[in-house]
Amino acid sequence: MNKTIIITGGAGFIGSHVVRLFVNKYPDYNIINLDKLTYAGNLENLKDIDKKSNYEFVKADIVDQIAINKIFEKYKPDAVIHLAAESHVDRSISNPTEFIFTNIVGTINLLNAARTVWGSDTINKLFYHVSTDEVYGSLGKEGLFYETTAYDPKSPYSASKASSDHLVRAYNHTFNLPVVISNCSNNYGPNQFPEKLIPLAINNIKNMKPIPIYGKGENVRDWLYVVDHANAIDKIFHDGKIGETYNIGGNNEWQNIDLIHKLCEVMDKKLNRKQGTSESLITFVKDRAGHDLRYAIDSSKLKNELGWEPSLQFEQGIVLTVDWYLNNNKWLENVVSGDYKMYYEQMYTNRN
């Protein structure tokens, strides 16, 4: 069936994997990648599919309601998959306001635009909001996050995402907007901006620089390979029930310090270094303010109702990830140096 789908944040880490999956898997869908190209957006991520006839890139800021309305009016999308966000917790601590604009105002602007363009004709329409497990707060040593767990966000980032989730549900309840939400755990894999733990550590190990571990490295995250997240989004997009929430997780908890030990072992092998070389780079630094201790997701609803499960073991995923960063040195160097940003700024300055 023919469909036009606006995917926001498609030039970012997870968004680029979702765009690639949909463009390749559904040739009958028109995929519009709507992205502002912030520091985290990089069209280089999509160079393997950007000439496909069912793909188009539109540079726009979701905070700009007028621009967003025009885009919705022009493309009349059947669906929106909303990933655009400020996504880094540390940045939300140093500059919270940007998170309020993009994550909250940006989301309501998209909801408004969808409402306007769909009116009362919402058959076969869908607003899919991609969210995070961080909205549930922080766990102690025991327990899991369920779809029914009360929201208790602790950082400006998670508070802004929680707020956007509430708005999406409120538009469903009040205006009957057809929505679905998923809350996912930590992703890792190719194309992740090297400010996040795994790509940052890979880059530092490669360059024999210190690996900064916050506090004692005791915090726990549940890691999921990004392509598995994209597959879960595909599943929920097509088979999920309107108004429902689905948790997505890797069933794969690691204390940060253990994860870094594992990564050091893999990197030493790949770089033909003596085992223990990378471990010597581990450096304990001041803890993140308000650092959530543990996240762990129960994704049995998704498994039981829609049949999704992660396809990769972490041991496989981390090797694939390390291989990708080592084989895509240019991508990493450009991102770290900011060259790609200058290039796209020049390229798009006169187009909008």
* Residues taking part in catalysis: 133-134, 157
- Shortest-Cβ-distance residue relative to ligand NAD: 12
* Nearest distance from C-beta of residue 222 to ligand DAU, angstroms: 8
**Contact criterion met (CB below 8 Å) for 198 and 141:** no
CB of 128 to ligand NAD, least distance (A): 11
Q: What is the identity of the amino acid at 82?
A: H
How far apart CA 58 and CA 48 sit, in angstroms, is 17
**Residue whose C-alpha is closest to residue 225's, from 192, 201, 202:** 192
The dihedral sign for the CA sequence 43, 47, 53, 54: negative
Q: Which residue has the tokens 């972490």?
A: 314
> How far is 292 from 101, CA to CA, in rounded Å?
23
Tokens 């498994």 sit on residue: 303
Q: Which is nearer to ligand DAU, 194 or 243 (CB)?
A: 194
Those residues whose C-beta lies under 8 Å from the C-beta of residue 152, and which sit 6 or more positions away, are 136, 137, 138
Bridge-based pairing state of the strands 55-59 and 79-82: unpaired
Closest separation in Å from C-beta 97 to ligand DAU: 18
Residue from 20, 22, 32, 41 touching ligand NAD (CB under 6 A): that is: 41
**Closest approach of ligand DAU to the CB of residue 1, in Å:** 32
Task: Please list every residue from 103 through 162 that binds ligand NAD, using CB under 6 A.
Answer: 106, 130, 132, 161
User: For ligand NAD, which stretch binds (CB under 6 A), given 84-92, 238-246, 262-270, 344-352?
Assistant: 84-92
* Smallest distance from ligand DAU to CB 132, Å: 3
Residue 16 or 278: which CB sits closer to ligand NAD?
16
> Residue 147 binds which one of ligand NAD, ligand DAU, none, with CB within 5 to 8 A depending on kind?
none
Closest CB to ligand DAU among 55 and 308? 308
Tokens standing for residue 153: 């966000």
The interface partner of residue 144, options being ligand NAD, ligand DAU, none and the CB cut-off 5 to 8 Å by kind, is none
Distance (Å, rounded) from C-alpha 231 to C-alpha 243?
20
Judged by the rule CB under 6 A, the positions of this chain that interact with ligand NAD are 8-9, 11-15, 35-38, 40-41, 61-63, 83-87, 102, 106, 130, 132, 161, 184, 186-187, 193
